[in-house]
Structure 1
């Protein structure tokens, strides 16, 4: 059939880049309740405007001693595409609020990947230490229930000049807990005992699971609400020596770099020894994602029949089938540069008839982080030493 001459325009879709939020960016903010907001109810926010519609307005911070609006504002400033669950709860101490972390995760159907916790009441550094212990318990429960997440705490009561109020965090052996002591000095009067955990949470939600939030090229933190780096309580950064000491103690803070504009995080420390596998948040987020993916791939096979050969061993077709399920689950992480490589092995010699247990060994090679870049620099004489 012939057609008339014409200009044909096909309507395409996808050019705006709109997408469903990646699961890795789903974050949470837990805080003590105040009048006007229903407590122990999880609300999912996609913008600062959503927070205001929920009842979390700028004036809330003015009369409650809270920093909740500020934290949410910073979260969405760093990651406008962020996905944030919030929950107000009751409690008369920092530790009692932290103890509600797992309750919030369950109410969010296990979707939260990183959770910041704030508390508006008077809090000492000793109570912050107790909060770290509580947070450790909460993250361990979360992993046991197959809904792992990271907890980001405010370093309330922190004092950079005091050994008693700036202890080494590696002694807590809390690999899924981090403490932020960064604060904008210009906000210190309004939020005297608060840390910029919303800033850290926004950076984490923006980062791939393999990325360090201290990556200079990607995470310049400068902007409305954060323009002059300091510590909790309005303490100024006195020297590089102080920063090195606080970094060695494994706190997360902000800093500037000579010759480069902007404000940046120092690192992504967790409250465990720097020699441990999970000493940094990106290590945890990577293993947490792999954990969720592998479980989702294998769960449909739970209680399924497994054929064995005449010797009771797994036929190659069976072992390779399970290996294939795991490989398919992890291949996306390699493609997205979240892991460098992985290996999966199902031993065909295992005695599943006796144990009713199928063992899978999975290993992932993480993406490295250039925490230090060393350059050997010197002069060179093109004529050589003998001719000089």
Structure 2
């Protein structure tokens, strides 16, 4: 054993320093009619570099915007001294099922001479159990029990979550169920800020040096112009978005998102990827979802998996809606080089060991119960979800699909990110040449020096992408015979050789009599 000493462990990431470049600039779009404290109708977008910054803006995980469900017990007989009442609540387990939480066990004393006095004593016992987290009040012979923070709507819909057990001759009944609209019952309403906090925390867990623009707008969206509003606020820097919807999944919304992306492309503010997640709890069979392979929304991807055993799973129970892995997926895209698939096993283990270790789908179905045929259907439909592999721990995305035919040049997120980065780079270096002179030869063709200068201007950022391993090679060509004198239009052709992705590996193996 070493000598006694004081040791120091240096932390990392506390300063929230961002990565170089702008490939990691991301946006997350939420819809909520009530703004957190740091947002308002005139300040709907904020840029943050850490979860702490989001919390400082009022996006917290304290469930302060939640309405807690309440139920009531009416006492009808005080019983004898020593008679007891045990009050229990069946709370959800993350992966399904319930656990019994004892809110209070109280034994009658000589001071509890009436049902009203007994009710006051029982309420005090509930309030004294800070571990369980429930609170109570007494009025006459009625004890009103208010849920602990974080349960949202769960107790409204759970089957008989409240139970009471008496000993001796003490007696009473559950007079008002959780979620009852009749006072003193209260209908639980889930927090809106908690899912926002979750997705932001997951983004920074996966991409701790990312930069995230958070937009909160009153819903519902009609044209998704909010994406353009956020991109304009960011001066065109956002490369990828996550869109979280707590309303029913509608595949047609991808069309609106794609249209916004096309308009931003035309304004030289390209968004390469929009990850979309919405409520699929009511979709019993996910294979009934429409295939995205028949669509033309190449900038869009749909995330249909979620945590099945941690905080995300508890939010699923509390909200009664799909939570998904949107934040983690966006973090993975921000962390990846533009040429990398977020399904790369060696780099993108999404499990923290707790969060996203147990997996589920957005309808609450546990991944472990889903057969391989269903997984293949969902993959062929080009949805994105987390999966497991035999022989390696962790959780990994199935692929980086976009909502377009697999034959498209832009069938994967990295295809869009790579070409958009090339476009941004070439635009920046060629822009000074706009409206510039083009020296011609006496036969009306472009002068060699003019061509060489333009080619040189197009190359710097492409050269850097080659050095960074984001493209394999490229070529810039300019036809000297094009009629620029008549048209004033110069055409430059650029061909990129991308970086491949080993989506499938075939190993031919067998015996031989010699080598």
TM-score (norm 1): 0.88
- Say if 2:345 is the partner of 1:222: no
SS of alignment partner, residue 152 of structure 1: strand
Structure 1: tracts of 5 or more residues without a match? 1-15, 384-388
Distance 2:457 2:284 in 1: 49
1:212 maps to which of 324, 332, 341 = 341
Q: In the TM superposition, what is the alpha-carbon distance from 1:215 to its structure 2 partner?
A: 0.2
Distance 2:222 2:280 in 1: 17
Distance 1:168 1:27 in 2: 27
1:8 paired residue number: none
- Say if 2:111 is the partner of 1:112: no
Render the CA deviation track for 1:79-121: whole Å, top value 9, x for unaligned.
1111111111111x3x43834111211111111000001123x
Distance 1:348 1:307 in 2: 11
Q: In the TM superposition, what is the alpha-carbon distance from 1:335 to its structure 2 partner?
A: 0.2
Distance 1:378 1:367 in 2: 31
1:103 paired residue number: 229
Distance 2:461 2:406 in 1: 29
Render the CA deviation track for 1:59-81: whole Å, top value 9, x for unaligned.
25854335110000000000111
2:26 paired residue number: 27
Render the CA deviation track for 1:189-232: whole Å, top value 9, x for unaligned.
23532221111100001000000000000000111532211111
2:318 maps to which of 179, 187, 190 = 190
1:89–1:130 CA distance, 2 compared to 1 (3 A): same
- Say if 2:494 is the partner of 1:366: no
Partners of 1:31 and 1:89 within 8 A in 2: yes
Distance 1:193 1:184 in 2: 10
2:59 paired residue number: 56
Alignment of 1:34-45 (within 5 A): 34-35=34-35, 36=37, 37-39=39-41, 41-45=44-48
1:317 paired residue number: 449
RMSD (CA atoms):
1.9
2:204 paired residue number: 76
Distance 1:47 1:88 in 2: 17
TM-score (norm 2): 0.67
1:240 paired residue number: 372
2:49 paired residue number: 46
SS of alignment partner, residue 23 of structure 1: coil
1:332 paired residue number: 464
Structure with the higher fraction of residues in helix conformation:
1
Partners of 1:182 and 1:254 within 8 A in 2: yes
1:356 paired residue number: 488
Partners of 2:23 and 2:334 within 8 A in 1: yes
Alignment of 1:275-290 (within 5 A): 275-290=407-422
SS of alignment partner, residue 235 of structure 1: coil
Distance 2:223 2:212 in 1: 18
Render the CA deviation track for 1:126-180: whole Å, top value 9, x for unaligned.
xx2122111111111111111111111004327372554x110122210000000
- Say if 2:382 is the partner of 1:250: yes
2:260 maps to which of 127, 138, 144 = 138
- Say if 2:183 is the partner of 1:65: no
Distance 1:268 1:160 in 2: 24
Distance 1:59 1:21 in 2: 34
1:262 paired residue number: 394
Alignment of 1:160-199 (within 5 A): 161-164=285-288, 166-186=289-309, 187=313, 188-191=316-319, 192-199=321-328
Distance 1:163 1:211 in 2: 28
SS of alignment partner, residue 64 of structure 1: coil
SS of alignment partner, residue 137 of structure 1: helix
Structure 2: tracts of 5 or more residues without a match? 1-14, 66-149, 151-189
